[in-house]
Structure 1
Amino acid sequence: MISPTKFITGDGSEWLQVKKGGRAGYGKIDYLIENPTAFWAQLKRQKLTIISHRSRKEIIDAAENLVDSEPALHVGRYGWYDRQYVKPGDELPDRIDGLPVISDLPANARPWAHNGTIDGWQTGVAHLCEGQAIPTFVMSCAFASLILKFAPSISDNPFFELADDTSGGKSTMLELSASVFGKTEDWIDNWDTTVNGLEEKMALAADSILQLDEENHFMAGGGTKETLASTIFKLASGSEKARFGQDTARKFRFLGLSTANQPIASLLSTIEKSRADAVKVRLATIPVNAPFGCFDTVPSGEESSADAILAVKNLARDHHGHAAREFLGVLKGRYLSRSFGAELLKRKIARYMQEFRDLVGGDLNRPEGRLLDKFALVYAGGRLAYRFRVLPFRGIGPAVLQVYRRSQIATRSEVAGTRVSAIDEVMAFLERGKSQSRIVSTPADLTEKEFDDTSYFLKVDAGTKWALITSQSFRRAFGFRSDEVLADLHRAGLLRAKDGRQSQVRLRTSKSKDRVYQVQVPMDKAI
């Protein structure tokens, strides 16, 4: 005897439950009417095979006579359902939030593979990320993606891009955050896509992180500035139907990380201003301009930033896939195992977000306030991961705050109505690199490595303070905007140069002269 029952899900879809031989399966009634082959295939995927015409007719006849529908929960993607997180390989409960579960999960999913140990991962992460702004930020992004559901103040998907025209380790930072979930190759996608091809990428990233590497692939593949802007709207809205100037219900919820040689906002500077401004509040640009690429200092035990990048790659390869599982496990144990736990979690996240807003200050009603909220969410994700003893180091707040301020400077935003000047950008760089700087009065006895590891030199000449920055350090700090910053400094009379923009100064005993940019530090600016 085949016994069907009709169910209706939250989106209004009607489903038919078919029971046969002690096994039950679900099929969409619309399929039964419009595409019967898809309906029977749906049941077969649930290991309920209906072959005979007689059995199929019996089901159809019974379905026609069904009047009443029972409520049910459709699980058609991976991610959050009420207080339950569903990931590949999980055995679904019969009920979630009191409703019977209709399982219709896709065959293609990002594997939550794991290798090594959580202890090995934590040891490596502490070594490579503690005291480092960008590495700490991307790690916090990974955990923030898992709590976005519980941050109702965030109405669209947070999206951040790491931008620089040098090989400063941008892609490697994606590997670092990918290690929270699984293998690098499973959790890093690329920009080699079309606007219409976004649907699958967004679906795979639901309630987790979407990482897109090398934005230049989009433009190289024939994408235009207008289609790139449309792509950002769709990603931020989590819907392939999103359009500029229209409110669209978010279909897929995720946090996005991207890499670019040139910030998307600068690429879009020639399109309609209202559209370009709309992109800016949806996409935060983070310059990879720390003294050592993505690193503020070379981690102890590593010879150079290149060695540190290699260490990140090795860590992501050898130890991955444990942190997200641990985080979700603690989340469930402390909060979501109780009926009122979701509300407690929302309050905790809201409190952490407010902590970050208070650190920054500013008016949340301004456009940049919308962007600030997304950085606040990242802070909340990192704070929870530390509180749950998944992230093994402190300093989440200072790191995220540094990245936020670099982002504001890089986009030449207006913060509290003041435009950031070139000298303020340079002063921010000098502050970041202070621990790796050297004060010189006479040539120093430095090895080649000691010279390369120095972020800048500080010299006082006739009562005037000068920052001496090598071309390599300057380009690493300001990337594609180096020439613009130098031109602004020159116009302001703060760049000393006899020929062009560089000077020749003897900084070390082993070499007669080195070429540097000499930037005057104004008297009202302190280092």
Structure 2
Amino acid sequence: MKSLCNKAFVDEDKNGISQKRFISSPVLVVAKTRDNSSNNWGVLLKWKDDNGVEHTQALSMELFQTDGADLRKALSYQGVMIAPDQRARNLFQCYLMSYQTGQYALCVDRVGWHDDVFVLPHKQIGQSSSDLIVYQANNALDNRYQSKGTLEQWRSNVAQLAENHSLLAFSLCTAFAGQLLDPLNQQGGGFHIKGSSSKGKSTALNLASSVWGNPKQFYRTWRATGNALEHTAYMHNDSFLVLDEIGDIANPKELGNVVYMLANGLGKGRMTKQITAKPMHQWKVIFLSSGEKSLKDIMTEQGQKTKLGQEIRLADIDIDQSEYGIFDGIDFAEDAPKQAIELSKRMADCYGVAGIAWLEYLTSNKGERMEEARELLDQYRQALTVNQSQGHIVRVANYFALVATAGELATKANITGWKAGTAFNAVQKVFNQWLGSFEQVGDYENREIVAHVKAFFEANESSRFEAITPDPDHIERINNRVGYWKIENGEKIFYVLPEQFKNEVCKGYDSRKAARALLAYNLLEHDTGKTSKTSKTARIPSRKNAVKVYAVKEAIFSWEA
């Protein structure tokens, strides 16, 4: 091999006659890539497609240790023409592997913030103080951040149609919120639009998707396992994830755990083929979901009960009672279905440009932008939590306030084309709608915990508690004992040892919260004069000295939520 120049490889036959062989359209090796530990080496490539659009892509050297199919697929998808014969393919791969360059770049395998640079699979926005930072694919590239049209087109033809419709405006604002999570030290969370068919759920999801890519391709579905959704969330780190039709989840029984996983941003630890621990995937993401059923509906069908933590991590927004579904009224077509059709037509012509403009705005002066965002978040949180003191309500209000902050900043950046205040007003209206239909108000968390404890005693009263003063004529055999019982002042009291209370009675809940909840409902005895304590000093069989126990009153059986 002599050279790869432009589109041809120059070779010589056995007679010394030079021949040209087409290998590929021109591809430039810009730099060698590696991570912070000087591992995960690769190459940074640059080329132009037939439309003259420039592409850059970093690819791991791992891809060169196979037949190169994944490598060729990734490049062909982005406009590189590669000769079909095996000889040419081998030469192409050899060129990319062996080309020498003195330039180096830092590679990352996670999209999102890296200092002041926001990394997408296909481009980086912002400037690093040191090396060029690039996203490097270790497998087939799955880039859904595509764009078409101009920001002006999207602003006037798409975003401004949503300005007078609170649910649409709210949905659009969620698409801008993910980039604020990490800089503002916020946790991820989700919103679920529930409604019957033809209520406009897909229109809301498509509108939000249009901020970042083609609405028909950017969205994901719930039709996946928990492991697959973990990878999906990781690919949308520090950004926005759309999940369509919650009823299609592959394993409905794991839905509750998946909601926790998506919102908490932590995947499962796994082992590599070399039996070493792989780093757990971590992410922060705002996700927008849809479905004809709610989280609670699906879990109930599976014989499960939703926990408060699950319902506040995926706030349910029911649109079935709305006269016009996802719309507040009829203002740009003859009826709601035609408005949805009109909006879809417009989104097909311009998408993905708003997200890039948003990132350019945030990275132009990240420190100043985030300080302003922090002030707005505090302001909107206070406005939404007036007369609200319950911790779980305040937490959900914080999610909504973050969405309002993102929407107002995007408006200030001249991305939405809305009037100032539009985003917050829309978010406030949707929050009030959620609050009005939310069943778990007041001290619901305490009631949920006490109901759980009551169920344990109902199931185990006679099988796992031993009498402190047994009847010699009726000796009971207690297996897997969790505590004792005795009669005091005509009432049966159950003594539970601390570890059993934590691991058995309160399994799945915080035992300290459980003790305080029982105390609040006067279901727990405690040592006299120690009202701040929840334990009682008691003597039990087989212990020489008195020990601390949780003394649960028999009244637990007659308690009602």
Which residue of structure 2 aligns with residue 162 of structure 1?
193
> Deviations along 1:190-249, whole A, 9 cap, x unmatched?
11111122133223322321111111111xx4x23x31111112211233328xxxxx97
| Paired amino acid for 2:325 | G
Cα separation, partners in 2 of 1:160 and 1:51, compared to 1, 3 Å: closer
In the alignment, which residue of structure 2 is the partner of 1:345? 369
Structural mapping, 1:89-238, within 5 Å: 89-90=122-123, 96-99=128-131, 101=133, 104-106=136-138, 107-152=140-185, 154-155=186-187, 157-218=188-249, 221=250, 223-224=251-252, 226-238=253-265
What is the CA–CA distance in structure 2 between the aligned matches of 1:51 and 1:124, rounded to whole Å? 43
Give CA-to-partner distance per residue, 1:73-96, whole Å, 9 cap, x none. 541133221111222432699x83
Q: Which has the larger radius of gyration?
A: 2
Distance 1:292 1:122 in 2: 23
Q: Does 1:379 align with 2:404?
A: yes
Greater relative CO, 1 or 2 (CA 8 Å, sep 6+): 1
Does residue 1:358 correspond to 2:390, yes or no?
Answer: no
Distance across 2 between alignment mates of 1:112 and 1:6 = 22
1:350-399 Cα offsets, whole Å, 9 max, x none, are 11111211211255771222222111110111010100010111311111
Judge conservation of contact 2:390–2:443 (CA < 8 Å) in 1: no
Equivalent residue letter for 1:292:
Y
Alignment of 1:64-103 (within 5 A): 73-90=106-123, 96-99=128-131, 101=133
Q: Hey, what's the Cα distance between the residues in 2 that align with 1:123 and 1:91?
A: 27
What residue number does 2:328 align with? Answer: 296
| Alignment of structure 1 residues 38-53 onto 2, 5 Å | 49=94
Asked whether the equivalents of residues 353 and 380 of structure 1 are also in contact (C-alpha less than 8 Å), the reply is yes
- Aligned 8 A contact 2:178 2:286 in 1: yes
CA 1:255/1:314 → structure 2, altered by over 3 Å: closer, same or farther? same
Q: Distance in 2 between matches of 1:254 and 1:396?
A: 20
Paired residues of 1:73 and 1:102 also in contact (CA < 8 A): yes
CA distance in 1, matches of 2:180, 2:370: 9
Aligned to 2:343: 312
Consecutive unaligned residues of structure 1, counting only runs of 5 or more, are 20-24, 56-70, 243-247, 419-527
Shift in alpha-carbon separation, 1:266–1:27, aligned structure 2, 3 A = closer
* Identical residues among aligned pairs (%): 23
SS at match of 1:199: helix
Instruction: State the distance in 2 between where 1:303 and 1:215 align.
Output: 31
1:241-320, aligned counterparts within 5 Å?
241=268, 251-269=282-300, 276-288=307-319, 289-299=321-331, 301-320=332-351
Structure 2 letter corresponding to 1:374:
Y
CA distance in 1, matches of 2:43, 2:344: 49
Say if 1:308 and 1:332 are closer, same or farther in 2 by CA, change over 3 A. Answer: same
Pair 1:370-2:402 in alignment: no
Normalising by structure 1, report the TM-score. 0.60
Equivalent-residue separation in structure 2 for 1:166 and 1:6 (angstroms)? 48
1:322 aligns with 2:322: no
Q: Which amino acid aligns with 1:121?
A: W
Distance in 1 (alpha carbons) for counterparts of 2:352 and 2:35: 36
2:408 maps to a residue whose letter is R
Q: Supply the AA of the counterpart residue of 1:359.
A: A
**Matched residue, 1:393:** 418
> How far off its partner does 1:327 sit?
1.6
Runs (4+) of structure 1 exceeding 3 A deviation are 5-8, 12-19, 25-28, 35-38, 40-52, 71-74, 99-103, 269-273, 362-365, 415-418
1:485 paired residue number: none
Distance 2:443 2:380 in 1: 17
User: Any conservation in 1 of the 2:119–2:134 contact (CA below 8 Å)?
Assistant: no
Q: Partner amino acid for 2:369?
A: L
Residue 412 of structure 1 is matched in structure 2 by: 439
**Deviation digits for residues 10-39 of structure 1, max 9, x if unmatched?**
xx68456899xxxxx9979xx8xxx9947x
Change (3 A) 1:98 1:414: same
- Give distance in 2, aligned partners of 1:6 and 1:320: 31
Q: How does 1:5-84 map to 2 (within 5 A)?
A: 9=36, 14=39, 37=65, 49=94, 73-84=106-117
- Mapped partners of 2:42, 2:154: distance in 1: 44
Taking only aligned residues, the RMSD between alpha carbons, in angstroms, comes to 3.9
2:326 is matched by which residue type in structure 1? Answer: C
- Kindly state the Cα deviation for residue 120 of structure 1 after the two structures are TM-superposed: 2.3
Distance change in 2, residues 1:49/1:389 (3 Å) = same
Q: 1:282 to 1:292 in 2, by over 3 A?
A: same
Cα distance in 2, alignment partners of residues 255 and 51 from structure 1: 38
